[in-house]
């Protein structure tokens, strides 16, 4: 191209005279040639810079996924039951003496303590009866004192043969009768005192009290017969509290064999864990303290009961709760996030990554949750690299780019797992 341009550069002296007489035409032709040469040069450069239409783009890299080996912990197996809380102590407060209700010293539903005054029945009639009993006691004591003096005199007269033996026997009999009258009067005083005490009804235990069944001014019927005496209110204890549940025959046998496996000089561990209907995990711990002595023939179950502390009195009798019993000792267990387990018809699968980056599905058997993680019962080894994030980008047999991750419990877990 440069050569062509050089041919256009002419010596001004070698230009014919006829050409010189046409300078404008020569300048225009030269400009056209220069522009055409530049366009040709630019076209050549663009042609060399444009890639070939037949070149193929580079394939994208394999999708990235997060992998981790299963979390391994020593966990025990447990069996879960549904139960209902009940009070350790339940008391019906009934009147033991009759009379008009004059005072109520509690608010419905409050916590009362043992010995707190709850009700007062009009004590005036019983105070009068106590005074009468006291007067009778004084009379009886005076009669006994007289009988003692008479027997002393009669004994001296009998020694001097001035009194017959029959008279002496009468005096002895009168003395014994006077002693009996004194004891009877003392018993009457104690009975009257007891009736006065019964007019002031106190809490027999610490717990939550129910509503008052009778209002001030009502006539209360009392007595030792509960069917005829007036029910005033009820009290239930709350700390500790029972959790009642029923075990099937299979669960009962499994638990009994677990208890037998603990024998060997060590105390048997009867610890249980429980939770309320709105709680995650098993925050409450107690002890199984009762199993009934026979199976129910109709349902094929046996009744059992655990006792749990309730210091803040949060749990109320009648609530439902969950409870689990240990069925095996602690053993190594593999755990995975629940999202890492997929379902293929009736099978459970986890996606693992081989050494060359190939996705390999593995069927597994799963258990319950522990600390927010799913228990893997079988089908997985501790060294398998499991896809825990990016599962949607992994296909069996395809290649992926594994990135290391970690597994941690999502909630606080105890060293146990449900069976």
Q: In this predicted structure, what is the pLDDT of residue 143? A: 87
Domain boundary among 236, 258, 284: 236
Encode burial over 114-131: b for 16+ CB neighbours within 10 A, e otherwise. eeeebbbbbbebbeebbe
> Cβ distance 112 to 233 under 8 Å?
no
pTM: 0.63
Between CA 246 and CA 85 the distance in angstroms is 13
Domain boundary among 303, 326, 349: 326
**Least confident among 18-32, 218-232, 237-251, 390-404:** 18-32
Helix or strand (DSSP H, E) at 20: helix 17-20
Q: In this predicted structure, what is the pLDDT of residue 226? A: 66
Q: With 80 as the cut, is the pLDDT of residue 399 above it? A: yes
260 part of a folded domain = yes
Average pLDDT of span 219-238: 87
Domain boundary among 203, 236, 269: 236
The pLDDT mean for the chain works out to 82
The domain total for the chain is 4
> Cβ distance 105 to 118 under 8 Å?
yes
Non-local CB neighbours of 295 within 8 Å, separated by 6+ positions: 249, 252, 301, 302
Pair 321, 307 in one domain: yes
Which pLDDT band, with edges at 50, 70 and 90, does 271 fall under?
A: confident
**Could you list the residue range(s) of the whole structural domain that residue 250 is in?**
79-87+241-326
Beta bridge partners of 206: none
363 part of a folded domain = yes
Pair 204, 253 in one domain: no
Q: In this predicted structure, what is the pLDDT of residue 249? A: 92
Q: Tokens at residue 63, please? A: 């999708």
Q: With 60 as the cut, is the pLDDT of residue 39 above it? A: no
Residue found under tokens 């099978």:
347
**Least confident among 107-111, 153-157, 251-255, 315-319:** 153-157
Pair 199, 181 in one domain: yes
Pair 305, 364 in one domain: no
> Cβ distance 96 to 222 under 8 Å?
yes
């Amino acid at each position: 191209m440069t050569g062509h341009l050089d041919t256009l550069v002419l010596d001004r002296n070698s230009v014919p005279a006829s050409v010189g007489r046409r300078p404008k035409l020569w300048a225009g032709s030269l400009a056209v040639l220069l522009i055409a040469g530049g366009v040709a040069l630019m076209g050549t450069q663009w042609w060399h810079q444009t890639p070939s239409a037949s070149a193929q783009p580079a394939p994208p890299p394999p999708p990235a996924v997060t992998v981790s080996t299963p979390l391994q912990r020593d966990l025990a197996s447990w069996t879960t039951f549904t139960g209902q809380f009940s009070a350790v102590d339940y008391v019906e407060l009934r009147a033991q003496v009759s009379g008009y209700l004059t005072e109520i010293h509690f608010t419905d539903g409050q916590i009362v303590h043992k010995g707190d005054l709850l009700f007062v029945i009009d004590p005036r009639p019983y105070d009068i009866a106590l005074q009468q009993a006291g007067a009778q006691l004084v009379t009886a004591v005076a009669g006994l004192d007289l009988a003692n003096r008479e027997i002393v005199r009669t004994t001296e007269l009998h020694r001097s043969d001035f009194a017959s033996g029959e008279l002496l026997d009468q005096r002895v009999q009168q003395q014994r009768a006077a002693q009996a009258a004194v004891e009877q009067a003392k018993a009457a005083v104690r009975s009257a005192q007891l009736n006065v005490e019964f007019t002031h009804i106190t809490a027999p235990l610490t717990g939550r009290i129910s509503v008052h069944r009778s209002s001030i001014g009502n006539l209360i019927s009392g007595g030792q017969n509960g069917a005829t005496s007036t029910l005033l209110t009820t009290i239930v204890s709350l700390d500790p509290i029972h959790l009642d549940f029923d075990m099937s025959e299979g669960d009962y046998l499994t638990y009994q064999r677990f208890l037998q496996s603990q024998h060997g000089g060590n105390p048997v561990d009867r610890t249980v864990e429980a939770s309320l209907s709105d709680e995650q995990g098993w925050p409450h711990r107690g002890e199984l303290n009762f199993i009934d002595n026979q199976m129910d023939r109709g349902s094929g179950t046996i009744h059992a009961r655990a006792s749990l502390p309730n210091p803040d009195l949060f749990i109320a009798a009648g609530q439902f709760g969950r409870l689990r019993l240990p069925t095996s000792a602690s053993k190594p267990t593999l755990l995975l996030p629940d999202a890492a387990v997929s379902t293929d018809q009736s099978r459970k699968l986890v996606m693992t990554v081989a050494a060359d980056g190939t996705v390999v599905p593995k069927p597994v058997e799963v258990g319950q949750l522990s600390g927010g993680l799913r228990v893997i019962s079988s089908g997985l080894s501790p060294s398998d690299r499991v896809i825990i994030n990016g599962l949607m980008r992994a296909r069996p047999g395809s290649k992926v780019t594994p990135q290391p991750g970690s597994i941690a419990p999502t909630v606080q877990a105890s060293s146990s797992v449900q069976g």
